[in-house]
Structure 1
């Protein structure tokens, strides 16, 4: 067992942080400027040092648009650390079969689809959409990839029939990105829970800092995490969302708060181990 430095909690051996991003160094991997945020200096070495301090063994880099259109920074990180890292891609250009094979061999296991909006307003521009996914789906399925869906729970449920016609499994970002103010009884969230019972959907219990209305320690997000754990603990993985892009200095979460939310809400150590160790093994092939 390893200690999570500064948090007072101990992660089980083999814990995976299943949602992080890396950026830079920018002299080697130039930033692609976007309007929503400025990319931080967060190379893979910083990520691994953070994990070592927390006692986290491995994890999943979700490639960020601003980290480079070609995905090379994430591909190089996976090749350098094959035992510790897996990846989720974003394609903004056509991708060849040879490139897909190279990425699969390196440890990519999915693509991220951006359909994130709240109250009809798109929050982030660019990225892959549903048409992109439909075009790529047969080639992704051949390689055992899944689709990671970045959208609000009600929108996910509305799109689910169309998505489930594709030959893929699906991973939901950040607890369905449901604003905590809507309450755990919100119809979109409740219907999303039912998707997890189909055997084709997974969900990340992450994003408490993005869904909260109260701020740390994110008590208003706890009910959503608890409902997910009660519904389908065998279909959940956890992530920190490091380095927390888009936050201001005032709202950027402390790792201790995110770890505490996990341990306090998922209090059963066997269920916690399943979410942190066993499920990532199944989903990402560690």
Structure 2
């Protein structure tokens, strides 16, 4: 999706209406995948971006969390800022009990910057090969070695159909790996696809995690995205202790009418009918991966 700067299309902002979920969200639930986009006069967009988003401010994100009944969130560095993590970091520092971060850094980042990011609440770094502004997958091993001493993980936005090639490399990394958006592969490929089977293997082996997120990015049936159910249920069945949920707010680079974020959370009970497993996905798993307190007052 990489395009020339002058061709980077504008994308719409999120739907300001967020319906509360139709099920009981447990205390200390966490949205593990969202982005904040600051004012253009403070935060410049990189030239090789794939799209041009409007602002999606910290206050709007926290309001969305409140509407969903979620106590915690994880901000992922958005591709349009490249390796300039300031917008994400400022939000994390302002809400240290509520927010954590996933940064994007160059392989030659100095140790001082990594330590500063760690102190701000960053707990991983992201490689994004699907949108312009990311870091190349060729740097995966080098970056993993840099962040391993901090106990961070490596987050990958990849097409899981490439995992037969990438899987053996991932298995050898000195860090754990988080695979975005259920593998970001089209539903038509099916759960029997070798790439998806590699993903299940990495989860079962305790090497990888995945985010039950981005249903609208991989669905081929459209809203309400029910064709994603076999994929989500296969992932949860393989390793419920390695699954997370994410809103993917503010839903950048989406074509067509913008949907309600609450409807995305309402997919979770369809994918995961058992309340105890949902609590694991929404509360226990993110607390373990991102270092949130595991016992707080409710």
- TM-score, length of structure 1 as denominator length: 0.91
2:75 corresponds to: 61
Of 25, 37, 41, 1:11 maps to 25
Is 1:87 matched with 2:101?
Answer: yes
Gaps of 5+ in 1: 117-123
Q: Is the 8 A contact 1:24 1:31 kept in 2?
A: no
2:12 corresponds to: none
Alpha-carbon shift at residue 44 of structure 1 (Å): 1.0
Q: Is the 8 A contact 1:208 1:221 kept in 2?
A: yes
State how far apart, in whole Å, the 2-side matches of 1:263 and 1:183 are.
22
Alpha-carbon shift at residue 34 of structure 1 (Å): 4.5
Q: Give CA deviations for 1:104-124 in whole Å, capped at 9, x if unaligned.
A: 1111111111234xxxxxxx2
Of 134, 152, 156, 2:141 maps to 134
Alpha-carbon shift at residue 128 of structure 1 (Å): 1.2
Is 1:192 matched with 2:199?
Answer: yes
Change (3 A) 1:204 1:157: farther
- Number of equivalenced pairs: 275
State how far apart, in whole Å, the 2-side matches of 1:205 and 1:186 are.
18
Q: Is the 8 A contact 1:209 1:253 kept in 2?
A: no
* More strand by percentage: 1
1:255 corresponds to: 261
2:273 corresponds to: 267
Gaps of 5+ in 2: 1-17, 293-298
Of 216, 219, 229, 1:212 maps to 219
Q: Give CA deviations for 1:265-286 in whole Å, capped at 9, x if unaligned.
A: 1110000000000000111101
Q: Give CA deviations for 1:163-186 in whole Å, capped at 9, x if unaligned.
A: 332211100110011201112222
- Is the partner of 1:274 in helix, strand or coil? helix
Q: Is the 8 A contact 2:80 2:133 kept in 1?
A: no
Q: Is the 8 A contact 1:29 1:68 kept in 2?
A: no
- TM-score, length of structure 2 as denominator length: 0.87
1:162 corresponds to: 169
Q: Is the 8 A contact 1:5 1:55 kept in 2?
A: no
Aligned-pair Cα RMSD in Å: 1.7
2:43 corresponds to: 29
Is 1:101 matched with 2:108?
Answer: no
Change (3 A) 1:27 1:35: closer
State how far apart, in whole Å, the 1-side matches of 2:192 and 2:229 are.
13
State how far apart, in whole Å, the 2-side matches of 1:151 and 1:115 are.
6
